[in-house]
C-alpha cells in the first residue's frame, strides 16, 4: 500500500529524470515466478513474498521509503519486529541481486539526497542504454 510520502518520493525522482519506477513491486515473487505454486516455491527457497516500495525491475534497483515513524504515525518501521522484517526484506533483495536505497522522511525532503540517488540511477540507465546501442543486447541481464 502506497503512503503519501512514497508517492511524493516517486514524483520527485521522476522529476529528477529517473525512469521506469514501479510501485509496490513484488521482487521475490517475480524472481521465483508468480502464479500457481508460489507459496511452495517461497517456502522451499526460504523466502518471503516481500515487495519494494519503488522499484526499477529491469535494473534491480529498489527504493524503500520509511517515514511513518518520523511523522508520529503508527508504523511497522518503529517496532523491533518491524525493523527485523525490514532488515530481512533488504537482505533478501540483496541476495537476489538488488540494490536497495532506504529513504527516510527527512531524506525525502532533502533535494541533495534525492539528487544523489537519482544521479546514480540515471548513470546506470544511461550506461545500459549505451550498451544496448553498442552490442544490441542488455549486458545487465547477465550480471
Domain count, the chain: 1
Q: Could you tell me the three cell numbers for 11?
A: 514524483
DSSP character string of 61-110? EEEEEE-TTTTTS--GGGSHHHHHHHHHHHHHHHHTT-EEEEEEHHHHT-
What's the mean pLDDT in 99-106?
Answer: 93
pLDDT digits (tens, 9 = 90+) for 60-99: 999 999 875 544 555 555 678 778 888 899 998 999 999 9
Q: Which domain holds residue 55?
A: 4-142
Span of 1-5, 36-40, 59-63, 82-86 with lowest mean pLDDT? 1-5
pTM as predicted: 0.81
Task: Tell me which range, 13-27, 45-59, 75-89, 126-140, is most confidently predicted by mean pLDDT.
Answer: 13-27
pLDDT given for residue 76 in this prediction: 54
Is the distance from CB of 129 to CB of 140 less than 8 angstroms? no
pLDDT given for residue 71 in this prediction: 47
Dihedral over Cα of 103, 109, 112, 116: its sign = positive
Q: If you search the block for the grid coordinates 550506461, which residue do you land on?
A: 127
Give the CATH number for residue 116: 3.40.960.10
Amino acid at each position: 500500500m502506497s503512503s503519501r510520502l512514497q508517492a511524493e518520493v516517486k514524483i520527485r525522482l521522476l522529476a529528477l529524470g529517473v525512469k521506469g519506477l514501479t510501485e509496490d513491486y513484488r521482487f521475490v515473487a517475480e524472481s521465483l515466478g508468480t502464479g500457481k505454486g508460489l507459496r511452495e516455491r517461497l517456502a522451499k527457497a526460504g523466502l518471503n513474498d516481500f515487495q519494494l516500495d519503488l522499484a526499477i525491475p529491469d535494473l534491480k534497483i529498489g527504493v524503500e521509503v520509511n517515514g511513518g515513524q518520523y511523522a508520529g504515525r503508527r508504523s511497522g518501521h518503529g517496532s523491533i519486529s518491524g525493523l527485523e522484517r525490514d532488515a530481512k526484506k533488504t537482505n533478501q533483495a540483496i541476495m537476489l541481486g538488488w540494490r536497495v536505497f532506504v529513504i527516510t522522511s527527512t531524506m525525502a525532503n532533502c533535494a541533495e539526497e534525492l539528487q544523489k540517488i537519482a544521479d546514480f540511477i540515471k548513470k546506470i540507465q544511461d550506461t545500459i542504454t549505451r550498451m544496448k546501442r553498442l552490442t544490441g543486447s542488455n549486458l545487465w541481464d547477465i550480471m
